[in-house]
Chains A and B, each alone.
Chain A
Amino acid sequence: MIEVKGLVKDFGKLKVLKGIDTHVKKGEVVVVIGPSGSGKSTFLRCLNLLEEPTAGEVIFEGKKINEKGTDIDLLRQNIGMVFQLFNLFPHMTVLENITLAPIKLKKISREEAQKIAMDLLNQVGLEDKAEAYPNQLSGGQKQRIAIVRALAMSPGVMLFDEPTSSLDPEMVGEVLEVMRELARDEMTMIVVTHEMGFAREVGTRLMFMDDGKIVEEGIPKEVFDNPQHQRTKDFLRKVL
């Protein structure tokens, strides 16, 4: 579904990604872990071109996307993204947050968009918050809404950029539960996270990044229980 070949990203002199090669297949849940500054988020942001790769190729459903002539907006409709800081639109109600993109981009009626939104809200247990504004919600609720907002476009793949890192500990569970649910429905997901329990339990593949490279990847349980590289061992010793 997503193929990455020799992906390099520089910010000025700073080399953040130093050649990433990987292939994410449909239905996979790829969990990306690694120390801060290892390039995990940048890698994720290159996949929907929030960051423009310096070199290399990102191929989405057989088509190279990081080149001129790509309809970035059309591409992004098919790639949902969830951010660490939620980034809900504060001047809109929850329902408006969710229905804005479907109404504007999919040319469906307001009623239809609202129906889809309410169904999704129902699934995450927040249908009573439809008319609320984001600043009336807890962090966990905001993040669940943000996930729903991305899902409302019915994307083929979902990117999660540290979705629980800015949440109070007691709210992490409710967000992970929604993500677990998604994985169960066979959504293709790429998740940058520090939640090792989630990685082991839900991930179909674990990817350990350090210093702008993929150091090691494999089935989560195997990587956790029997890491092959010294850097993976060091990292896991610190976080587990």
Chain B
Amino acid sequence: MNFSFLPKYYNFFIIGAKNTVLLAVFTVILGVVLGVILALMKISRNKILNFISTTYIEVIRGTPLLVQIFIIYYGLPAIGINFPAPAFLGEYGEEFVAGIVALSINSGAYVAEIIRSGIQSVDKGQTEASRSLGLSYKATMRYIIIPQALKNILPALGNEFIVVIKESSIVSVIGIHELMYNANTVRGNTFIPLEPLLIAAAIYFILTFTLSKFLGIAERRMSVSD
């Protein structure tokens, strides 16, 4: 094993990891927002909203993430929609935004299904009892259904967060300097093919393992109230 590149190149991995976390955080937030909206559309009685949401989810889940990323990165500017480049994202702001958009659009579909199934797993009798007391649909959702659905949703959502961290490596193809991209750069610069990848893999694992431990703690906390 040859890790002699580390003293010179360790900063590549730190910056890469930082960008990976940044990507994941933005994607998770936007993905959840999008997922909640899609899930509400899917369980609504409005046929049009229903159709839009179902189609969206099926198309996103039925096409590869890599294809989606390319379509968004090359396609949107081609039809005149340019990505902004916020200063705090550094030199590759446009790519970064494109990456976040693509990952969020993808993750939103999965989050929507997680939330929908969580809500629908709550017994129908709960809704009936609440509505029969005179509580509105909205109040029923807020006080009765969502609090119970969260227990089903959170573990699956945690899983999705872990998937997002790992899948974010794929946006290296559009030149975002995240962990995978930087590991590749180190490989190119040093002509060491394997070891930089091992370092990257180790960092990915540390990120996901830490997150999964935190999620485990959160889950235990929630089940105490049962």
Contacts and interface: CB of A to CB of B under 8 A. Distances in A.
Interface in B142-173: 143-144, 147-148
A150 B131 CA distance: 11
B129 A89 contact: yes
A79 interface: yes
B64 to A, nearest CB: 40
Contacts, number: 60
A87 B134 contact: no
Given A50-B131, A76-B131, A83 B136 contact: no
B221 to A, nearest CB: 14
Nearest to A146: B129
A77 B148 contact: no
B148 A104 contact: no
Contacts of B63: none
The SS class assigned to the B binding surface is helix
A105 B131 contact: no
- Interface bin, chain B: 10 to 19
Interface residues of A, number: 27
B17 to A, nearest CB: 39
Contacts of B134: 73-78, 101, 105, 153
Contacts of A74: 134
Nearest to A78: B134
Best-buried of A74, A78, A91 by chain B (most CB within 10 Å):
A91
B126 A76 contact: no
Nearest to A50: B128
12 contacts: A50-B128, A73-B131, A74-B134, A76-B133, A77-B133, A79-B132, A81-B132, A83-B125, A85-B125, A87-B129, A90-B148, A150-B133
